[in-house]
Structure 1
Amino acid sequence: MSRSSLLLLLSPLLLSCCVAAQQNSSSAPVVPPATTTTTTTTTTLASFPALSTLKPDELTGPAAQPSPVTTAAAAADGSCSADAQCVARRGQLSSCVDAVCVCGPRAYEKSGECLPSKDLNEPCESSEECQNTKHAVCTSSVCSCDVGYTNENNVCTLVIPPPMPAIVPMNRDVSGITIKPNFEPDGAYKVLKLKSEELVLECTVTGASVNYTVAWLKNKTAIPDNERFKTVQPNKLVIKKPEENDADTYTCVFSFSNNATASRQEDIPVMVPVYVRLPASTSAVEGEKLQMKCTVFGRPIPTVEWLFGNNSIKEEKGRYQLLEYENVPNAMLQIDDTKMEDRGEYTCIVRNMYSNETSATTMVRVKDKLAALWPFLGICAEVFVLCAIILIYEKKRNKTELEESDTDQSPEQKNTPDHGKDSVRQRK
Structure 2
Amino acid sequence: MAAALLVLLGFTLLGIESGSGAGSNISTSIREEGSRTRLTCTLNSSDTHVLGHRWMKGDRVLQEDAAPELTTEYEVDPEERSGQYSCTFLSEPAGRTARVTVKGPPKVEAVDSSVLGIEGERAVLVCKSESFPPITEWAWYKITEAGDQVLNNKSKNTFVVSSETRTELHRHGLDLKADAGEYACSGTNTEGVDRALITLRLRSRLAALWPFLGVLTEVVVMVIIIFACEKCRKPEVVLDEEDTGSAPPKSSGPHTIDKDKRNAN
Q: Please, what TM-score do these two structures have when normalized by structure 1?
A: 0.34
Q: Please, what TM-score do these two structures have when normalized by structure 2?
A: 0.50
- Considering Cα pairs closer than 8 Å and 6+ residues apart, tell me whether 1 or 2 has the greater RCO: 2
Larger radius of gyration between Structure 1 and Structure 2: 1
